Amino acid sequence: MFKGSLVALITPMENGAIDEDGFQSFVDWQINEGTHGLVPTGTTGESPTLDHKEHKRVVELCIEATKGRVPIIAGTGSNSTAEAIELTQHAKDAGADAALVVTPYYNKPTQEGLYMHYKMIVDAVDLPVIIYNIPGRSVVDMSVETMARLAKLPNIVGVKDATCDLARPLASRLAISEEFCQLSGEDATIGAFLGQGGDGCISVTANVAPKLCATLHTAWQDRDLDTFSSARDRLGPLHEALFCESSPGPVKYAASLLGRSSPECRPPLAPIAESSKTAVRDAMVSAGLLN
């Protein structure tokens, strides 16, 4: 259903407020650069510090600017099932193509609790849902068995896998129908993830290298391995630099170097260190994005 280079959109800000015009300009640039899909209001979009009104507004702005040109997967997750249902219903009403729902963080549900959480969401809202499995942030890891069980439900259509376990996509592919899309949440391992049965990536790096990320995925789909390898190698140092501090600090700074956003993040994220700025700039030059 979804494949290729999908961008986990940053949310540009000015003086603590969402830069609505800047955000819509950024969305338009992403589409024009070849990005295959957009993911607003995820962690990279600073969803933890957006209030509900802001969260819904960002989704609406994205849909308005996109005008149906590429799919939109709205981040609607929460560690409250009722809140996740509310945000997912809003995404459907606003016109999103799917919802990205993170495994509940902090309250650490069991596998049965995870199953119940997602089932309640898809029972309540008729919208395709992609599971976001990111143990490093949520402290829970959905098993392949639980995911296969959920995949039998209508509207559970895929996973954003940020486990860093490169055996996982193959195990999932063998346990679940091929129609279930597997999207990486780890830029640095995307080459191996695709080789293990993955379909694409919900990417942080695509915020600043949309054309190069799209080229990598299109080359993979076309089995143009020379172009794929070249893009993979150019992107490697950039993937590393954009996670030198907590995301989205480094990628927002990188976007500011391109004139696409201010570097501003909401507290508790601090401005990145000077050494990190140097690492990001050097990686951007290495990738051919800056002179």
Question: What pLDDT tens digit does each residue of the chain (291 aa) get?
Answer: 799 999 999 999 999 999 999 999 999 999 999 999 999 999 999 999 999 999 999 999 999 999 999 999 999 999 999 999 999 999 999 999 999 999 999 999 999 999 999 999 999 999 999 999 999 999 999 999 999 999 999 999 999 999 999 999 999 999 998 899 999 999 999 999 999 999 999 999 999 999 999 999 999 999 999 999 999 999 999 999 999 999 999 999 999 999 999 999 999 999 999 999 999 999 999 999 998
Residue ranges of domains in the chain: 4-224
Whether 160 is catalytic is: yes
C-alpha span between 21 and 23 (Å, rounded): 5
3 in Cβ contact with 181 (< 8 Å): yes
- Sign of the torsion angle spanned by Cα atoms 151, 101, 11, 89: positive
242 in Cβ contact with 205 (< 8 Å): yes
Q: How far is CA 236 from CA 6, 66, 209, 213, 288, in A?
A: 17, 29, 12, 11, 12
Choose the catalytic residue: 160, 252, 253, 277: 160
208 in Cβ contact with 254 (< 8 Å): yes
From the number of C-beta atoms within 10 Å of its C-beta (0-12, 13-18, 19+), residue 129 rates as buried
What number does CATH give the domain 4-224? 3.20.20.70
Choose the catalytic residue: 115, 132, 253, 277: 132
Which neighbouring-strand residues pair with 6?
A: 37, 202
Whether 115 is catalytic is: no
C-alpha span between 64 and 66 (Å, rounded): 6
Q: Which helix (H) or strand (E) holds 38?
A: strand 37-39
